[in-house]
Amino acid sequence: AIYDNPSLLPPDRTYDFVVVGAGIGGSVIANRLSENPNWNILVIEAGRSNEGFQDELIKIPFIASKTFPETSFTWNYTTVPQAALNNRKIAFPEGYVLGGGSSINFMVYTRCSKYDYDAFAKMAGDDGWSWDKILPYAHKNEKHVPPNDGHNETGEYIPKLHGTHGPLLTSLPGFLTEIDDPVLAVTKQYREFPYNPDYNSGDPIGISWMHSTIGGPLRSSSATAYLMPAVRSRSNIDLLYNAQVTRLIQSGKVGTVPVFRGVEFAHNSRSERHTVIARKEVILSAGSFGTPHILLLSGIGPKLELAKFNITTIVDNPNVGKNMADHPIVFLQWTVNSNDTFDPIIRGGEAYDEALKEYHATGRGRLAANGVSNHMGFLRLPEDSPVLANGDPSTGKTSPHYEIAFANGFLSTTQPIPQNGSYMSIINVVVTATSRGSITLASKDPFVLPVIDPKVLDTEFDKQTMIHSIRSSQRFATSTPFKGYVTGNYTTLITDEDILNYVAQWATSIKHPFSTARADPDPKNGVVDGKLLVHKVRGVRIVDASVWPVIPAGHTLAPIYIMAERAADVIKAAWP
Ligand SMILES: Cc1cc2nc3c(=O)[nH]c(=O)nc-3n(C[C@H](O)[C@H](O)[C@H](O)COP(=O)(O)OP(=O)(O)OC[C@H]3O[C@@H](n4cnc5c(N)ncnc54)[C@H](O)[C@@H]3O)c2cc1C
């Protein structure tokens, strides 16, 4: 059954598993565990339903960016001032809705490098997370469907690499653009930008066609693919949304080890607190901010920090909320000779209304497709690059250092679009970023947002790699295939100093927080073990981005789906 207020949840109901957070990790776990008809599952989500008020914003692919930074679909986090960004505080939205990030994100589906998974396995001390072992779960997750415009996709990807029967729908670009041909022409002419027939093979290096979590004209999210189908078809799963988990409660002890099978939750800061007990496990899937926040409020975290807020430490673990990895992003634009970019649509008005009309009438057109890019490139710094002089932080030889992606218009999440003109944008992302930030308590009150400090571009490696990425983008935009199309720079950047100033003014986080409760067999170094069980307590497991000991070098949704699919089997095996 579905409940939208804690007071409606039947008080006598008991559950085997309580899943906290209905984002990517939580939705996969809830679906897979409820396959066992003998188990009862409760899912508790702080945010809203993915249906109802303004839900077109999270259904129509092109307008994804209208869902953040501050809407009813987001947690409106703001960071502390970022030193490398002119001390700007940046907006850091996260999904506050069934589906979590998968309901509001840009839908870019990248499995990342096989070495990212091998590094996870090695650091967590569990070979099951390695690429070769986990690959079946990538297939289990995915259902590749034809592109929405029905174009012939032969040669644009390698079919055998993709799932055909999973819940999550993925597809190639559903709206072809005028820059597709020149982008592909660059890959034939320049060794710096080789063509990769499919970046989801475990070796993403090169320029590939982009895959998105889109089926037909609609976003496919963990809510539409996993959670709601299970809730609507099975009687052993209850879903409660509009209910924030405020802490875990110690429910007993095994010897000297505390057991945490109690979950406390409330509709808002003024309303009554409720509790529920999980007979088997509490699964924390509240994401890289929500999960450590709940642990800290429950007395599991760095003792000195907890003491500052008069929270009694039950388990002293200095790693909770630390080691936060993320990816910095900056957008760069060029003026182009075209009447066919998406700029008029982004500006709104008549062009947007026309596109929306076409979408409703035919289910086709630009709005039915991902607006970010049709192709993207994952590239490595040259082996002799001085940026690598102090070592290579990437996980292996098929792991990129940076990403570039090409948009057929003025794309930016920080810069306002100019009133006039036509543009092309290249997105620059440092995907092997070495800066590490944190999430810490701001208050003992669970309804006060925690302090987020991602330390964007904090290290010299990250800054120099961003400079390299921008220079690479500049070579791309001025390559022969773009002669006559690209007419000039929107912003002219010549020296490294120019670039760093530009980055300080406009860079932001791509919103891939990771590793804030990382897996490590040694409780001194991590928060969970290789089976994702929280160290030094019983009854709590974590399944979300926070447990990854490395941040995958690409976009993060696919790696989380894949790890959650395997985590579900790990849990099933633990309760035979
Ligand atoms: C704006 C944006 C754009 C992005 N674009 C892309 C992209 O194009 N491609 C890509 O691969 N990745 C993208 N990402 C990243 C990706 O969406 C995330 O990495 C992913 O969703 C994280 O999954 P998760 O399961 O760890 O957490 P989430 O999906 O964030 O789910 C956590 C859930 O827990 C809930 N929750 C939190 N605290 C509590 C609490 N106390 N009580 C109850 N519930 C709670 C939240 O409301 C949320 O629903 C983007 C993210 C954002 C924010």
Write out pLDDT tens, residues 231-271: 999 999 999 999 999 999 999 999 999 999 999 999 999 99
Q: Calculate mean pLDDT across residues 209-236.
A: 98
| Dist CA 334 CA 479 (whole Å) | 13
Residue 2 has pLDDT above 90, yes or no: yes
Cβ(529)–Cβ(319) below 8 Å:
no
Residue 235 CB coordination number (10 Å)? 10
Residue 185 CB coordination number (10 Å)? 14
Active site residues: 512, 555
Please write the tens of the pLDDT for every residue from 59-96: 999 999 898 888 999 999 999 999 999 999 999 999 99
Q: Considering only CA atoms, which residue is closest to atom 38 of ligand 1?
A: 290
What is the predicted ipTM?
Answer: 0.99
Q: Known binder of ligand: residue 43?
A: no
Q: How many residues does the chain have?
A: 576
| Dist CA 388 CA 379 (whole Å) | 14
Q: Considering only CA atoms, which residue is closest to atom 48 of ligand 1?
A: 100
Cβ(65)–Cβ(261) below 8 Å:
no
pLDDT band for position 450 (50/70/90)? very high
Q: Known binder of ligand: residue 123?
A: no
Q: Which two tokens stand for residue 175?
A: 């709206």
Residue 388 has pLDDT above 90, yes or no: yes
| Dist CA 440 CA 452 (whole Å) | 7
| Closest by CA position to 37, among listed 225, 234, 226, 227 | 234
User: What is the distance in A from the centroid of ligand 1 to the CA of 543?
Assistant: 12
Q: Calculate mean pLDDT across residues 121-142.
A: 98
Tell me if the bond preceding 229 is cis, omega within 30° of 0. no
Q: Considering only CA atoms, which residue is closest to atom 3 of ligand 1?
A: 105
- The rounded Cα 277 to chain-centroid distance in angstroms is 30
By CB atoms closer than 10 A (0-12, 13-18, 19+), residue 190 is middle
The bridge status of strand 540-542 relative to strand 273-284 is parallel
pLDDT given at position 11: 87
Residue 189 CB coordination number (10 Å)? 11
Q: How many CA atoms lie within 13 A of 11 on its CB side?
A: 3
Q: Considering only CA atoms, which residue is closest to atom 21 of ligand 1?
A: 101
Q: Known binder of ligand: residue 106?
A: yes
In sequence order, the β-bridge partners of residue 237 are: 41
Question: What number does the ligand 1 atom closest to the CA of 222 have?
Answer: 29
| Closest by CA position to 141, among listed 61, 36, 226 | 226
pLDDT given at position 572: 98
Question: What number does the ligand 1 atom closest to the CA of 446 have?
Answer: 41
User: What is the distance in A from the centroid of ligand 1 to the CA of 103?
Assistant: 8
Q: Calculate mean pLDDT across residues 434-438.
A: 98
Please write the tens of the pLDDT for every residue from 499-517: 999 999 999 999 999 999 9
pLDDT given at position 502: 98
Question: What number does the ligand 1 atom closest to the CA of 93 have?
Answer: 53
Question: What number does the ligand 1 atom closest to the CA of 413 have?
Answer: 1
- The rounded Cα 213 to chain-centroid distance in angstroms is 12
Cβ(428)–Cβ(407) below 8 Å:
no
Q: Known binder of ligand: residue 40?
A: no
Cβ(118)–Cβ(109) below 8 Å:
no
| Dist CA 19 CA 224 (whole Å) | 17
What DSSP string runs through 160-177? GGS-BSSSEEEBS-SS--
pLDDT given at position 68: 84
The bridge status of strand 252-254 relative to strand 451-453 is unpaired
The ligand 1 site (C-beta within 6 Å) comprises 20-25, 44-47, 68, 93-96, 100-102, 104-108, 244-245, 285-288, 290, 294, 511-512, 544-545, 555-558, 560
Q: Which two tokens stand for residue 284?
A: 């924390």
Measured CA to CA in angstroms, residue 115 lies from 136, 345, 546 at distances of: 16, 40, 19
pLDDT band for position 353 (50/70/90)? very high
Please write the tens of the pLDDT for every residue from 255-265: 999 999 999 99
| Confidence (pTM) | 0.98
User: What is the distance in A from the centroid of ligand 1 to the CA of 287?
Assistant: 6
User: What is the distance in A from the centroid of ligand 1 to the CA of 36?
Assistant: 26
- The dihedral over CA atoms of 2, 5, 6, 7, expressed in degrees to the nearest 10, equals -110
Written as one letter, the residue type at 227 is L
What H or E segment, with its residue span, contains residue 140? helix 131-141
User: What is the distance in A from the centroid of ligand 1 to the CA of 100?
Assistant: 4
Report residue 98: phi and psi, to 5°. -55, 130
Cβ-Cβ contacts under 8 Å for 140 (sequence gap 6 or more): 163, 166, 565
What single-letter DSSP state applies at residue 137? H
- The dihedral over CA atoms of 424, 327, 296, 46, expressed in degrees to the nearest 10, equals 30
Percent of the chain topping pLDDT 90: 98
| Dist CA 281 CA 259 (whole Å) | 10
Distance in Å from the first CA to the final CA of the chain: 26
